[in-house]
Amino acid sequence: MGFWWMALLVACGNEDPEELPGIEGEVRTAETSGLVQGIKAFGYVSGSQGGWYVTSTEEATCADVVSYLSTGAFDPVAVHAPGHCNLALTATMDGDSVAFDETENFLVGFWNLSCAMGEGEFAWEERDNGYADWFWNGYSWTGIAIEHETTVLPVESGGWSLEVIMKAFDGDYDGVGDVPGEGEVSGAVVAEPCPGLVGTALLPG
C-alpha cells in the first residue's frame, strides 16, 4: 500500500466515522467533465456480496435509490445531480470488510461511474424502436475505475465506511466508442444500510 493511501487512512482516522467528508473530485474526458460530490451513500451485504451506491444529491433516500435502480420510470434528479457523477461499488466481502485495488477488479469487485456530464437536463424520451426512459441529453458517460485503492469497513451504526482514491477511468458515451477519463476522485463516506437494494441491478440477489 503506497504512502499516499496511508495518508488518506490517517486523515480519515481523525474523523468521526459517522461524519466522513464525502467522496469528491472530477472525471474529465476530451470533450467535457463531471463532478463527483458523493456525500450520501447507501449499501447492503447479502451473503458475501456487498453493493453500495454513492449519490450526488444530499436529499436522496434509500427508497429513492432502490426505485432509481429498479425502474426507468423514476426521475433521476432525486438521486443524480445534473453535471455530476454517481458511483456504485460491488465487492465480495472478506468477513465484514474488504480492501482491494485495480489488480483485483472483477475478481473481488469494481467501481462503476455514471456521469451526466457538462450542460443538459434529464428528459423523458423515446429511443431505440419505442423504448421510453429518462435520458441525460448532454454527454452521458459510464465507466469504471481502472486505477484505485478501496477499503470498506463496518461502522457502529450498522452501515459501512467507503474509502477510495481513484486515479484513472475507462468508459464510453451511451455504449458508443472508447472514451477514457482522467482526474482524481478521493475521500470517504458512510453508507447507510438499505436492504431494498437486494433484487436491484446493484445486488441482483
- Per-residue pLDDT, averaged over 162-190, amounts to 95
Three-class secondary structure of residue 68 per DSSP: helix
> Is 90 exceeded by the pLDDT of residue 20?
no
> Is 80 exceeded by the pLDDT of residue 150?
yes
Model confidence at 8, in pLDDT bands (50, 70, 90)?
Answer: very low
Name the one residue in this structure whose C-alpha cell is 432509481. Answer: 68
If one compares 200 and 13, the residue with the highest pLDDT of the two is 200
Three-class secondary structure of residue 59 per DSSP: coil
Query: How far apart (Å, rounded) are the C-alpha atoms in residues 53 and 62?
Result: 10
Query: How far apart (Å, rounded) are the C-alpha atoms in residues 35 and 166?
Result: 13
Residue 105 is given by DSSP the state B
- Give the pLDDT confidence score for residue 126 in this predicted structure: 82
pTM of the model: 0.89
